Amino acid sequence: MLVSGRSRLQLDDARRRLDHAHPFIAESGSAVFIPEDYFHRKIEGGIRMGRFLCMPVAKPQPAAREALDSLCEAAGISVVSLRSLSPRELAQNTGLAVREAEMVRQRDFEEYFFFAGASDEDIARFRLAARERGLSLHEDAPLWGLSVGADLARAVKQTSALYDKSFHGHLASVGVQDNGDESGIAEICKRGIRIVRGRGAPDGEIAPSERLHTVAVRTLDDWAQLADLLNRREGGPRCGPGGSARKCGTGSLAAPRSFFMSTVKDRRTGRSFPTARTAKAVCSVLLQL
């Protein structure tokens, strides 16, 4: 299941490359997007957005842009919202091609902006004011994103509850993230795995604990170790009546640059997912996004 700071439009390409047909969490915990007819049950509070049923965590736009305008006025700090830029200015300020830059600002929940000549003290004051108002603010250098109520832990909890109801039992969530990622997904889930990649990565598993592991991945054997950690379950349910390979496979895959993953054993085939090969293929694609 993809978990990303990107918008649903930005994730389209990654989802196509992975043939990803599962729910995903977008815009830094702002909402869960669920493919049509994925869960055969009514989802309370769900709203239709594009091809998906959306389970909002944050307030949809224009709440964020209105909150940003009010915050700037109260703090006395000027920012430049991406929505105010021309296509050429947008591309220049993001360093992206025009089409990709346009997708950055087309967001369902967050308002993206950058500071106009603000000092470090100004930015610290701005962040404090946002926190006092209960607004979610995060840095996506050189840009910043603001939302009204985004909460990744809440999004994971709500999604896990939907899976639990569908499988008539409790699925243990596994959070996997790149070592430089600050999303906290590994701490949010029941079990966490941090990936350290590259030639400088130390050998083997580092400082394992009951619920948090750090794994160095450089060779196929290292990816096999990661797959083994992902497949360790603690009393997870079997697929219920009518369960399909689609739902008994990788329940959640990943994001730039973090993801949480629920693994379930398919009792019809006896296989657990992901295998070492699929773990490497999936992570290789997603960690490069």
Q: Is pLDDT of 91 > 90?
A: yes
Q: Which residues contact 156 (CB under 8 A, 6 or more apart)?
A: 3, 25, 29, 173, 175, 185, 188, 189, 260
Q: Is pLDDT of 272 > 60?
A: no
Residues 77, 89: Cα–Cα separation, whole Å: 21
pLDDT per position as a tens digit, 27-37: 999 999 999 88
Average pLDDT over residues 89-98: 91
Q: Is pLDDT of 96 > 60?
A: yes
Confidence band, pLDDT 50/70/90 cuts, at residue 109: very high
Q: Which pLDDT does position 225 carry in this prediction?
A: 67
Confidence band, pLDDT 50/70/90 cuts, at residue 270: very low
Q: Is pLDDT of 55 > 50?
A: yes
Domain 63-147 class in CATH: alpha beta
Confidence band, pLDDT 50/70/90 cuts, at residue 137: very high
Mean pLDDT computed over every residue of the chain: 77
Based on DSSP, count helices (H) and strands (E) in the chain, helices before strands: 10, 14
Confidence band, pLDDT 50/70/90 cuts, at residue 230: low
Which residue has better confidence, 231 or 67? 67
DSSP character at residue 250:
B
Q: Which residue has 């965590």 as its token pair? A: 57
- Domain limits, the chain: 63-147, 153-286
pLDDT per position as a tens digit, 275-289: 555 555 555 544 443
Q: Is pLDDT of 243 > 80?
A: no
* Single-letter amino acid, residue 45: G
CA distances from 288 to 1, 31, 168, 197 (A): 17, 23, 36, 11
Q: What's the gap between Cα 18 and its chain centre?
A: 15
Confidence band, pLDDT 50/70/90 cuts, at residue 260: low
- CA dihedral for 195, 199, 205, 208, sign (positive or negative): negative
Q: Which pLDDT does position 164 carry in this prediction?
A: 86
Q: Is pLDDT of 114 > 90?
A: yes
Residues 69, 63: Cα–Cα separation, whole Å: 10
Average pLDDT over residues 47-53: 93
- CA dihedral for 191, 181, 53, 230, sign (positive or negative): negative
- CA dihedral for 42, 20, 171, 179, sign (positive or negative): negative
Q: Which pLDDT does position 90 carry in this prediction?
A: 94
Confidence band, pLDDT 50/70/90 cuts, at residue 171: confident
